Amino acid sequence: MQTMRIEDEIKQPVFKNEYQKGLINLIYTAGWLQQQQAAAFRQFDLTLPQFNVLRILRGQHPKPATVNLLIERMLDKTSNASRIVDKLETKGLVTRTVCPSNRRAVDIRITEPGLELLHRIDESVKEHHGLQMLTLEETQQLNQILDKIRD
């Protein structure tokens, strides 16, 4: 398959300049990747933010996490961690208990079924990281440029 130029995909004839194209291209491509990933998680009845929270909890396991810790580590800092944990709790993938040493805080832990689900997902998506089509050098360039954007 031929490379799909961003101009063709969104049917805008021409960009004013390479910078304008870059901005649109970056946002469009990230959305495209997110949709690919979301589709992959649908078979496990997980959304992308739910998966990310679950992965953070596995990283802490067997220590608990608090909502604050989740917010710190989530990609989208302003999203509502509380309500994402709600959904995971309903599915039995995490538990929520009042933190004994600070009763304002809540200890959140991944459950055995949660760990098993992540393990099944790992098996299923192994080696499919989303950027298989890039060379190592291209990936390094990409990372360097993205870091510079957020200077």
Partner DNA sequence: TGCAAATATATGTACATACATTTAATGTCG
Partner DNA sequence: CGACATTAAATGTATGTACATATATTTGCA
Q: Which residues bind a copy of itself (CB under 8 A)?
A: 1-6, 9-12, 17-35, 59, 72-76, 78, 129-134, 136, 138-143, 145-151
Answer yes or no whether residue 42 interacts with DNA by CB under 7 A. Answer: yes
Using CA of residue 62, residue 49, residue 23, residue 138, what is the dihedral sign?
positive
To 10 degrees, what angle do helices 18-42 and 48-60 make?
Answer: 70
Q: 11 or 104, CB closer to a copy of itself?
A: 11
Q: Which of positions 14-33 make contact with DNA (CB under 7 A)?
A: 31
Structure tokens at 145: 């440029």
Report d(CA 94, CA 109) in Å as an integer. 5
Answer yes or no whether residue 150 interacts with DNA by CB under 7 A. Answer: no
Q: In this chain, which of 8, 76, 122, 138 binds DNA, going by CB under 7 A?
A: 76
Q: 49 or 114, CB closer to DNA?
A: 49
Report d(CA 134, CA 101) in Å as an integer. 48
Q: 73 or 96, CB closer to a copy of itself?
A: 73
Structure tokens at 5: 């130029």
Q: Is 106 left (phi over 0), alpha (psi -120 to 50) or beta?
A: beta
Q: Which spans of this chain sit near DNA (rule: CB under 7 A)? A: 31, 34-35, 38-39, 42, 47, 49-50, 66-68, 76, 78-80, 82-87, 96, 99, 102-106
